[in-house]
Each structure stands twice: as structure tokens, then as C-alpha cells.
A = this chain, B = another copy of it.
């Protein structure tokens, strides 16, 4: 049946030339049939596509990358997982990021770098020199982020998970509204009748932490509640535990504690436990991130779930738009987290 003069390459790769021979046209026509359908006669196109199908042709991305200076690769740098971190956001995040990238015709390539911003920037530059990466995805951006500055100066498309805190309109970003999230959690416990609502958050140098704290402050002020109970500590279970003890030892102790992370909230639960108090029934607790642990502890921890799937999708869409040369200003997407109510914030009959 096969009447072509040459069989498939020994490597099993089908090339344009082979398809062309099969269809009785030139390689360029095959290329056109696939990339610029209007440049070939409908009749010919049909014949070519049939040949493509029969031979199972797939364009060689290396050759394309070389010719077009575009590799359909999107790069992302992972950070090492912190051992005490309760959340497993990164895992899910990478998965959807990759799935969305695949849907849009890209592949995700992981980038490794020495710790620190300088190492990361160097890694980006090396990758760019070597591979004509199409775009970058950044995570955990912060104020005056050197990575943002570097990528912009090189003119590479990129999008950040984390808003541009500098107010830089030229940067495409997707973020989750931490303020709205904490506000929702605070409103929720206020609705249970709590009036002494404390907040355990992070040190003031973290934009993310300040954003989340702001929601608690807003919600309290709207309701004319006291805002004297607050702590700013480094994220750890032990710090959450100690902060909780302080707030429960206060002259007018807290009856609800809104935390900036599940890790801190779990520390609070431990403190309650040590005092013989029941989460939910005696003191309401909320966390942030909906880590797997939040669902597994008893009672379950009320927390905020970030729409991580949507973040991934939007990030890919953002860079895709940039690459398409979309004239509109870079996308800015602020997503709402979802309040997951469990027993830790409800005065129900769950035992401690």
C-alpha cells in the first residue's frame, strides 16, 4: 500500500517532507495547510490533512522553536516546600496550571534556581538564553519585586500570582482577595454573636498578611467591635498557640479568634485544648487556606478556600493574551476566596 519513496525515519518521527510526498505536494504547502489554511486550495488542503492523519504527523517543536523563536513553553519556578506548612496549595496549583497550559497549547517547564531573588533571576535569564521560553509565571510576588523588574526589562511576557503591590498597572496578575476573605470569616463569627474577636496574623512586612488583617479590621469597625486583640507573629503552630493564650488571658478575653493561616489556627486549637475549652462551643476559630489538615482535625476547622483552579486558568489566559499581542492593558484579576464553615466556629454540640 505504501508507495512513498521513503519510509518513516528510523527514529519514528514523521516529518513535513514525508507528509508532502504522501500528499504529492511540497513541504511548504503542508506547512501552509496547517498554519495558514487560506493559502492552499481547499481541495489540496483536504488531501494534505488526510495524509497528516494517516501518517500521524506532529510538528517538531524544536525545529519550530528554532525557526520561530517561540517554543510554546511556559516556565515556572517551584519553591521548596516548607516542612511545617499545613497547606498543599502548590500541588494543586501546579496541576491546574499545567492543565490550563496544555489546553492553550503550551507546555509547562519547571525552572530550578538557587535560593534568593538573585539566583532566581539568573535562572530565568539562563533559561531565556537557552530556550526561547514564551512566558513566565511568577508566584508570591511582593513589593519592589526584582523578578518583576527583570522580566519587564527583558520584555518577556509574564503573569504573577499575587497582585502588583506597587500599583504597577503594566503587570498582569491574578490574586485572591485576602481582605474579603478575612472579612467574611469575621462577619461569620460576629453573626454567631461574638463581640470580642481577636486576630492572629503575620508581621507587618508581609503584604499578604496586612491584606488579610485589613479584612478583620474592617469587619470589626463596621460593627463597632473592639480591635484591641491582635497579634503579629511568624507563621507557626507554636506562635499561634502562644498568641491564643495571651488573648484568652486578657482582662476581657477573646471569644473568637480569626487567624491568617490554618497553621496558626491549629495552634489556637491546641491552646484551647490545654485550657479545657471547646473550639466552637467556647471559642470560635477560623483559619485560612483550607489545608487538608483543616478537614481532618476534630472539630473541623472553619477556613477560607482559595479558588486555586481559577487562579491557574486565569494566569495562563493572561500570558496567552499577552503573547497574542492583545492591545488591552494587562489583565488584573482579583478572586474571592470561599468561606468553608466547619464546627470550629459553630456553637453546635460537637464534642471537643
Contacts and interface: CB of A to CB of B under 8 A. Distances in A.
Contacts of A111: 107
Nearest to A82: B292
B131 A62 contact: yes
A266 B296 contact: yes
B81 A88 contact: yes
B112 A109 contact: no
A11 B110 contact: no
A56 B90 CA distance: 33
A59 interface: yes
Given A66-B62, A107-B110, A108-B110, A129 B292 contact: no
- The interface size bin for chain A is 35 or more
A71 interface: yes
A208 B71 CA distance: 39
A270 B293 contact: no
A80 B93 CA distance: 10
B61 A78 contact: no
A310 B98 CA distance: 25
B86 A98 contact: no
Interface string A85-119: 11010111011001101100001111110000000
Nearest to A103: B112
A58 interface: yes
Given A107-B109, A237-B296, A296-B237, A80 B95 contact: yes
A57 B90 CA distance: 34
